[in-house]
């Protein structure tokens, strides 16, 4: 049984924007099965994946998060119903009894969680979830746990049954339930706080298509916002520019966003924005000719722009491109 760890609205936003599960999986670099588990809440997204999903679906991070304030009532109720259903499954399947019994026996033998997990060939996280009654146990895992506790499998099963019938597990089950609910609320709160913090990582995106393959960048007019890639979190002067020029042909999608850092020093081999005027910019690749003269190469058709000393202040380095 898998515990739902990240309720989300990815599927709703994906369908609204006509993005297929396979397309989302390909762009995240994960399997179709993983996407299915993520959308159902069975698998957690890490911070970088969450940002990427928001960018792919062209929505805010808050749009992906389920809570009472920003989600449809039926979505919230469905999430609560799923939580209740899984708690009942845990209870009826005896997972809570098993988890409580394992904890009781481990404590009686003065063993730590780490010792049992390692000897049972499990990660600490997996074994902890078993003791919390939140994960099923396979036959092989059951046998390994028995061995880690110094018991034969049949003896362990008999001891679990005896402890349950003796009524000594109720207090542990109540403790586990309370701890699980507190941890779950803390996890939800942490997810929400992370999303709020990520809002501060958004930067404005400028740019409309200009003449001669240029991009008109009016820093006073933003068309949208984009979240900075993880490698740019600590750079404070970054801004976004829509790659709306057709001069690149099919090299990059016109929907791509360039992240530009004016304070970064651009050198040979870098991609940069060259501001011919205050607002008219061209995407160039910085090159050096046979005499050592620096120039910017534009494409379709190829054209060189040679720079003088004053032009270096007009060159803004492109530090990342989000496709």
Residues 254, 298, single domain; the answer is yes
Q: Which pLDDT score, from 0 to 100, does residue 198 have?
A: 59
- Residue 254, in any domain of the structure: yes
Residues 85, 127, single domain; the answer is no
Residue 213 binned pLDDT confidence (cut-offs 50, 70, 90): confident
Cα distance between residue 269 and residue 113, in whole Å: 53
Residue 205 binned pLDDT confidence (cut-offs 50, 70, 90): very high
User: Following DSSP, what letter does each residue of 135-191 receive, concatenated?
Assistant: S---HHHHHHHHHHTT--HHHHHHHHHHHHHHT-SHHHHHHHHHHHHHHHHHHHHHH
Residues 80, 136, single domain; the answer is no
Q: Which pLDDT score, from 0 to 100, does residue 148 have?
A: 94
Domain boundary pick from 145, 163, 193:
193
Residues 233, 291, single domain; the answer is yes
Answer yes or no: is pLDDT of 216 > 90: yes
Peptide bond into 301 cis (omega under 30): yes
Q: Which pLDDT score, from 0 to 100, does residue 92 have?
A: 46
303-306 and 294-298 beta bridge pairing: antiparallel
Answer yes or no: is pLDDT of 260 > 80: yes
Residues 99, 180, single domain; the answer is yes
- Residue 5, in any domain of the structure: no
Answer yes or no: is pLDDT of 218 > 60: yes
Answer yes or no: is pLDDT of 187 > 60: no
Domain boundary pick from 90, 111, 131:
90
- Residue 30, in any domain of the structure: yes
- Residue 2, in any domain of the structure: no
Does the model's pTM come out above 0.85?
no
- Residue 4, in any domain of the structure: no
- Residue 3, in any domain of the structure: no
Say which residues have a Cβ less than 8 Å from residue 272's Cβ, sequence separation at least 6: 266, 283, 284, 285, 286, 296, 315, 316, 317, 318
The residue segments making up the domain with residue 255 are 202-322
Residue 291 binned pLDDT confidence (cut-offs 50, 70, 90): confident
Residues 78, 102, single domain; the answer is no
In this predicted model, what pLDDT tens digit does every residue of 75-100 receive, in sequence order?
Answer: 566 666 665 655 554 454 478 888 88
Q: Which of 7-11, 150-154, 224-228 has the highest mean pLDDT?
A: 150-154
Domain boundary pick from 161, 193, 225:
193
> Looking at the 3D structure of the chain, how many domains does it have?
3
CATH number at residue 274: 2.10.109.10
- Residue 105, in any domain of the structure: yes
Give the CA angle between residues 314, 298, 255 to the nearest 5°.
90
Residues 10, 36, 198, 319, CA torsion sign: negative
Q: What is the mean pLDDT of the chain?
A: 79
Q: Which pLDDT score, from 0 to 100, does residue 316 have?
A: 93
Adjacent-strand bridge partners of 297: 285, 304
Q: Which pLDDT score, from 0 to 100, does residue 196 have?
A: 45
CATH number at residue 78: 1.10.260.40
Residues 146, 72, single domain; the answer is no
């Amino acid at each position: 049984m898998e515990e739902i760890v990240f309720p989300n609205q990815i599927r709703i936003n994906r369908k609204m924007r006509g993005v297929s599960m396979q397309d989302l999986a390909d762009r995240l670099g994960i399997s179709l099965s993983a996407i299915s588990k993520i959308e159902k809440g069975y698998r957690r997204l890490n911070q970088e994946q969450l940002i990427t999903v928001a960018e792919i679906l062209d929505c805010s991070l808050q749009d992906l998060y389920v809570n009472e304030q920003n989600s449809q009532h039926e979505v919230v109720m469905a999430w609560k119903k799923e939580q209740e259903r899984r708690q009942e499954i845990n209870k009826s399947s005896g997972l809570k009894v098993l988890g409580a019994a394992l904890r009781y026996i481990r404590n009686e033998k003065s063993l730590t969680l780490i010792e049992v997990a390692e000897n049972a060939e499990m990660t600490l996280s997996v074994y902890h979830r078993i003791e919390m009654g939140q994960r099923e146990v396979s036959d092989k895992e059951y046998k390994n746990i028995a061995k880690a506790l110094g018991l034969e499998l049949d003896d362990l099963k008999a001891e679990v049954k005896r402890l349950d019938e003796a009524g000594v597990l109720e207090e542990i089950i109540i403790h586990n339930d309370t701890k699980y609910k507190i941890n779950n609320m803390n996890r939800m709160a942490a997810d929400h706080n992370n999303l709020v913090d990520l809002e501060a990582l958004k930067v404005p995106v400028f740019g409309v298509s200009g003449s001669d393959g240029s991009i008109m960048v009016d820093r006073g007019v933003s068309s949208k916002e984009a979240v900075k890639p993880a490698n740019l979190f600590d750079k404070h002067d970054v801004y976004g520019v829509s790659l709306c020029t057709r001069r690149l042909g099919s090299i990059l999608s016109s929907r791509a966003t360039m992240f530009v850092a004016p304070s970064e020093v651009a050198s040979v081999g870098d991609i940069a924005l060259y501001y011919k005027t205050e607002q008219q910019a061209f995407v160039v690749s910085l090159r050096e000719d046979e005499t050592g003269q620096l120039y910017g190469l534009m494409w379709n058709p190829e054209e060189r722009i040679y720079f003088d000393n004053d032009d270096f202040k007009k060159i803004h380095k492109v530090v990342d491109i989000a496709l």
